[in-house]
Amino acid sequence: MTSALAVPPPPGGGLLPCNLGKDPAVILLYTTVGSHTTDFLKGCPGEVIVGSNNSKPPSAVSSLHAKAAGGRAGFVLGWQGRVFKSLIDRDGVKGAETYFKKKLAAGYDYIVIDEVTAHPEWVDGTRYNRALRELMKRLPRKIIPYISIDLTMYPTGDYYLHHRRYLLRAAKEYARVMALEVYLHTGDVMAGAAPSVFRRASNRISHAVSGMAHTYNMNHHAIIVLGLSMHTNYAQYNYLDWPKYDMTSVRRQVNADRSASWRTRQHRGLGFYFVGSRDLTPSASTYYTLSDLTALLAREGRRYR
């Protein structure tokens, strides 16, 4: 009799190939979650784009089986736009295009720009604004810009977004998606803040381009990114900060994105911001584990299929 233990596991760690279709949802992770990264690929949620700045893309999403299941790798230019700006200062648009193409040739599927902010250097007409717009045109559907919380959430964000309207329109036309940062602490979510904050971010990018040609359905080309960090050096950046309700907070935020308004319902995916598995690992005394949390995130991501 053959022992069950002798039966080999399915190829690819149990990942099944997916038929993603023409316009698959995007599940965007800023970095990997170690061995839990492949959890996000199960169930065919769409394109699961995992960020990295290493010379080669993460193996968790770049193997043949992972690719077939929707795994994608995004090369991240981080530090709140400083890496992108340094690249433009050094090499210009043509040099940046060459650099991006080398990363794509090395196995990366997308270039992720962290991030467009309220800094005056990002205003329409400035060097970095024009450079990003031109690069998105030269590499259509290969670039993902993050839109910072100072634009999506802060009181004056709508004013600043209006002065980045040409950049927003270019992202709508040429980026893979726009990643709208909406980072809420667990206590804020439990107090009921998520629906209004999600509506505000979605309304702002639409209002900023009001009256411009080729800007219909802006939010169909955007996703909300949830802040999930819990171990940074600054308390204001630790978003999962109430263990008793952290898991409920995640569910409530996704519910808000799915139902807060007709604009949020246009979103074709979801993002999660954290810096590595350590940043997402609960303390030993917390009732949920990293495995519990990643399983929840993967399950919520599948709602966008």
Look at residue 163 and tell me if it is in a domain. Answer: yes
State how far the Cα of 230 lies from the Cα of 51, in Å rounded to an integer: 19
- 211 part of a folded domain: yes
C-alpha to C-alpha distance for 278 and 274, rounded to whole angstroms = 9
How far apart (Å, rounded) are the C-alpha atoms in residues 69 and 47?
Answer: 8
Beta-ladder partners of 269: 26
Q: Which two tokens stand for residue 294?
A: 């990643």
Residue 144, φ and ψ in degrees, nearest 5: -125, 110
pTM for this entry: 0.95
CA distance 62 to 42: 15
Q: How far apart are CA 27 and CA 297, in angstroms?
A: 10
Please report, in tens digits, the pLDDT of each residue of the chain (305 residues total): 434 444 444 555 679 999 999 999 999 999 999 999 999 999 999 999 999 999 999 999 999 999 999 999 999 999 999 999 999 999 999 999 999 999 999 999 999 999 999 999 999 999 999 999 999 999 999 999 999 999 999 999 999 999 999 999 999 999 999 999 999 999 999 999 999 999 999 999 999 999 999 999 999 999 999 999 999 989 999 999 999 999 999 999 999 999 999 999 999 999 999 999 999 999 999 999 999 999 999 999 999 99
Domains in the chain: how many in total?
Answer: 1
Burial class (CB in 10 A: 0-12, 13-18, 19+), 241: middle
Q: What pLDDT is stored for residue 7 in this prediction?
A: 44
In a domain, 97, yes or no: yes
CA distances from 55 to 52, 58, 98, 197 (A): 9, 9, 15, 37
User: Within a domain: residue 1?
Assistant: no
Q: Which residues form the domain of 283?
A: 22-304
With respect to residue 15, please indicate whether it lies within any of the assigned structural domains.
Answer: no
Output the CA torsion sign for 44, 49, 52, 56.
Answer: positive
In this structure, are residues 198 and 204 in contact, taking their beta carbons and an 8 Å threshold? no
Q: Is residue 14 part of a domain?
A: no
CATH code of the domain covering residue 249: 3.20.20
Tell me, yes or no, whether 8 lies in a domain.
no
* Cβ atoms of 86 and 77 closer than 8 Å: no
Residue 7 falls inside a structural domain: no
Residue whose C-alpha is closest to residue 182's, from 110, 256, 233: 256
- Coil, helix or strand for 241? coil
